[in-house]
Amino acid sequence: AAERAKAQIRARVEHPFHVVKNLFHHKKARYKGLAKNTAQLYSLFGLANLVIAKSKLLKPQAQDAS
């Protein structure tokens, strides 16, 4: 039960990283200053949250149509 709980938490935490790395192709930071890198990562993770929320919000509509 403890391992299952840890796996569920790990899945929630690692999913935004998967979206940022694979959907937005952000593999490594570029050397352009810490403030710019931080700002870029904040915006990418914000967009990743929107992508995840979009899939959750559109799922009930697909079920209603069929």
Rounded to two decimals, the pTM is: 0.67
Indicate the number of domains in the chain.
Answer: 1
pLDDT tens-digit series, residues 1-47:
899 999 999 888 888 888 888 888 887 777 778 888 888 889 999 99
What local confidence, expressed as pLDDT, does residue 7 receive? 93
C-alpha 63/C-alpha 66 separation (Å) is: 6
Structural domain span for residue 44: 2-65
Give the contacts of 45 (CB within 8 A, at least 6 positions apart). 16, 20
